[in-house]
Amino acid sequence: MLDRITASLPSLAPAEQRVGRLVLADPRGFARQPIGELAERAHVSKPTVVRFCRSMGYDGLSDFKLKLAGSVSEGVPFIHRSVDADDKTGDVLVKVIDNTVAAFLKYRNDASTHAIERAALAMAATCRSGGRIEFYGVGNSGIVALDAQHKFFRLGVHAIAHSDGHMQVMSASLLGTNDCVIIISNSGRTRDLMDAADIARKRGATTIAITASGSPLASTAQIHLAADHPEGYDRYSPMVSRLLHLMIVDVLATCVALRLGSALQPALREMKDNLRSKRYT
């Protein structure tokens, strides 16, 4: 959560930046103090404190303080234990799993439920209207986009994934106001994805970005689902960001399925029954 605030500071208004610096300087104190004291310490108005919390993707001050208190009191640290060339198999097992679990727990504490709710409602509305849901990603994020297509296809949604920049631009050009596009990127700085996102937004589609805070893609999307994981690029580091993105897609798919309600159950049951013939008994 503190990493996300640090990354977002440059994009905030000066008054909100003062609130952000106050949080970074004394997170435990910020979580305990009333809004009047916080505003006085940051030399801002009370509404500015609330605006800062909403700029970070939270419902308001109470939601922000609850997540902040959980983050600093649980003390889930960022763990990144690099895998070395001479590590034994047992060492690799522990390091890879520890890195992944730490990233997941950090996301659990930092995630904005407000942003996830907005994304799920937008996607559920697209499903009900018969619109298209498209997933864009390149490289590792392209693999996540394909996984997302599979998950939403099972919900009876007209979903498709594109990992080619030209296809993304062409497909985005055909979107409309009832459609939704989810752009997945670890860096949030890939030119092809930015171009497709701009086109989709101009066409009136809802744009959702799963990417790093403070990135150009995060700023341009209508809904930002922050995925902040400082990735290592040495030859022995697995891509934890890819697993984090897959988990966020799982959360989205579950939220959308719940909002679509019991109407999904007969189709899912029939799909499962039909698949039984493809298995050996």
Based on the fold, state whether residues 246 and 142 are members of the same structural domain: yes
Last residue of a domain, one of 43, 74, 105: 74
* Full residue range of the structural domain in which residue 187 is found: 113-267
Question: Quick one: pLDDT band at residue 72, thresholds 50, 70, 90?
Answer: low
Based on the fold, state whether residues 261 and 125 are members of the same structural domain: yes
Last residue of a domain, one of 27, 49, 74: 74
> Using N-to-C axis directions, what is the helix angle for 240-260 and 140-153, rounded to 10°?
20
Please indicate, yes or no, if residue 92 is contained in any of the structural domains.
Answer: no
Cα(82)–Cα(20) distance, integer angstroms: 31
Looking at residue 137, which CATH number applies to its domain?
3.40.50.10490
Please indicate, yes or no, if residue 252 is contained in any of the structural domains.
Answer: yes
Based on the fold, state whether residues 47 and 117 are members of the same structural domain: no
Based on the fold, state whether residues 14 and 127 are members of the same structural domain: no
Could you give the strand order of the β-sheet that contains 158-162, starting from the edge strand earlier in sequence?
158-162, 132-136, 180-184, 206-211, 223-226
Based on the fold, state whether residues 124 and 58 are members of the same structural domain: no
Q: Which of 7-11, 223-227, 262-266 has the highest mean pLDDT?
A: 223-227
| Number of structural domains the chain divides into | 2
Please indicate, yes or no, if residue 274 is contained in any of the structural domains.
Answer: no
Please indicate, yes or no, if residue 196 is contained in any of the structural domains.
Answer: yes
> Which tens digit of pLDDT belongs to each residue from 73-118?
554 444 455 677 788 888 778 878 888 888 888 888 788 888 999 9
79-93, 113-127, 265-279: segment of lowest average pLDDT: 79-93
Based on the fold, state whether residues 118 and 57 are members of the same structural domain: no
Based on the fold, state whether residues 57 and 166 are members of the same structural domain: no
Coil, strand or helix: which one is 162?
Answer: strand
For the residues 164-179, what does the mean pLDDT come to? 96
Looking at residue 36, which CATH number applies to its domain?
1.10.10.10
Based on the fold, state whether residues 261 and 163 are members of the same structural domain: yes
Q: What is the DSSP letter of 223?
A: E
The per-residue pLDDT for 19 is 94
**What type of residue is 281?**
T
Cα–Cα distances in angstroms (integers) from residue 80 to residues 24, 235, 240, 261, in the given order: 22, 14, 10, 40
For the residues 214-227, what does the mean pLDDT come to? 93
Which token pair is 10?
């440059």
Last residue of a domain, one of 20, 51, 74: 74
Which residue in this structure is represented by tokens 């609850």?
66
The per-residue pLDDT for 234 is 53
Based on the fold, state whether residues 117 and 68 are members of the same structural domain: no
31-35, 117-121, 144-148: segment of lowest average pLDDT: 31-35
Cα(240)–Cα(229) distance, integer angstroms: 8
- pTM exceeding 0.85: no
